Amino acid sequence: MIKTEVVEVRSDNIDMDIVRKAGTLLREGKLVVFPTETVYGLGANGLDEQAVKRIFEAKGRPSDNPLILHISSTGQMDRLVTRVPERAVKLMERFWPGPMTLVLEKSPLVPGAVTAGLDTVAIRMPDHPVAKAVIEHAGVPVAAPSANLSGKPSPTSARHVVEDLMGRVDMIIDSGDVSIGVESTVVDLTSERVTVLRPGGVTLEQLREVLGEVDLDPGLINGENSAIPKAPGMKYTHYSPEADVIIVDGRLEDVVDRIKSMAGSLEDSGKRVGILATDQTKDLYARGLVISAGDRNAPGTIAARLFGLLREFDKKGVDVILAEAIEERDVGLAVMNRLLKSAGYNVIRV
């Protein structure tokens, strides 16, 4: 059991003494949790193989699941990759700092523990003032997956981190709730065709504005991916609450009717039911614990709340969560990706 220090650092008034301490801890091989604009990250010195292995131990994460290296300036890229292609430069100029991760050919400097033994590495420059300050003062690229126990919903506030990792890490920096709420978009630039391996805060539509043709990894569509994962979230069950999650997809009126029917049957059988609705439908349900995830016409509102609500349903002790599908456009693609994984692709189409 590690003695975990929990500290508060405001984004608009950064305590540099704490930031410098966090940077020192990272350089020394310790584990530091820090906020990003997407979710909270569990950081370690990305050039220290033993420190990186501590991440896997703290999370209970399979070691063949690669990590993302976080940097504070584009100048750090040259040491970490064999080359930076022109299309990577275009994306970096448009979306960095921000919620986009690039997969490139790695340099010998990057430990195998970071890349799960692959010859590619995933790199991101976060757009959060505390994250940027911590990484800069660490003086090294910081390997950082989401700061939760492996498989659980990602943390969008420090209290989620405390629930999962207290006693497993050296420091937790609390900067309040994150703004985006789903992890970064992961873009593979190592093949002829540019491919999104994980949708996130930078949308497919935005990527296509810059590069033209951009593909989606087939596993994002059918839930099947037999390839060796190049990025987090491709292979293992993720984002799962304790309750079973069932997604209902179809015409909205039909979705509501089916969820009403299912909620009634499940409650009659003794199950506690949670309903993940939207602002447009929350008042249409008479049974079950009904919570709105946000405005289905503004998927960013749902992304910001999704993981926290999955955790909230667990705290309420529900057995089954019935979730309305939303349109897979803009950030809605990332929302549905996370919902599908949380449900193990258990979808009822009506």
Per residue in 330-339, pLDDT tens? Answer: 999 999 999 9
Write down the pLDDT at residue 235. 53
The one-letter amino acid at 148? N
Residue 109, C-beta contacts closer than 8 angstroms, at least 6 positions apart: 47, 79, 80
Continuous segment of H or E residues that includes residue 323: strand 320-324
Q: What percent of the chain has pLDDT above 70? A: 95
Residue 327 is classified by DSSP as -
Is the four-CA dihedral 139, 134, 146, 165 of positive or negative sign? positive
With beta carbons less than 8 A apart as the criterion, state whether 6 and 172 touch.
Answer: yes
The dihedral over CA atoms of 208, 209, 212, 213, expressed in degrees to the nearest 10, equals: 10
- Examine the pLDDT at 5 and tell me if it is beyond 80: yes
Is 5-222 a domain of CATH 3.90.870.10?
Answer: yes
Question: Residue for token digits 């299309």?
Answer: 87
Per the DSSP assignment, residues forming a β-bridge with 42 are 33
pLDDT at 186 over 90: yes
What is the rounded CA–CA span in Å between residue 321 and residue 273? 6
Tokens at 145, concatenated? 């997956």
- For residues 66 and 103, what is the distance between their CA atoms, to the nearest angstrom? 11
Q: pTM score, two decimals?
A: 0.94
Q: Judge whether residue 94 has pLDDT over 70.
A: yes
Cβ of 82: how many Cβ atoms within 10 Å? 12
- Asked if pLDDT for residue 238 goes beyond 70, the answer is no
Task: Return the pLDDT at 222.
Answer: 64
Paired strand residues for 201: none
Q: Which of 312, 261, 310, 304 is nearest to 286 (CA)?
A: 261
The pLDDT of residue 63 is: 78
Q: For position 226, what pLDDT does the model report?
A: 46
Interval 255-259 mean pLDDT: 98
Mean pLDDT value across the chain: 95
| Residue extent(s) of CATH 3.90.870.10 domains in the chain | 5-222
Query: In this predicted structure, which of 131-135, 218-222, 239-243 has the lowest mean pLDDT?
Result: 218-222
Token representation of residue 64: 């063949």
Q: Is a pLDDT exceeding 50 seen at residue 313?
A: yes
The whole-number pLDDT of residue 240 equals 85
Sorting pLDDT into bands at 50, 70 and 90, what band is 224? low
- Whether the pLDDT of residue 216 is over 50: the answer is yes
Classify strands 244-249 and 215-216 as parallel, antiparallel or unpaired. Answer: unpaired
Residues of the chain with CATH 3.40.50.11030: 244-349
Classify strands 185-188 and 195-198 as parallel, antiparallel or unpaired: antiparallel
Tell me the CATH class for 244-349.
Answer: alpha beta
Confidence bin at 239 (pLDDT 50/70/90): confident
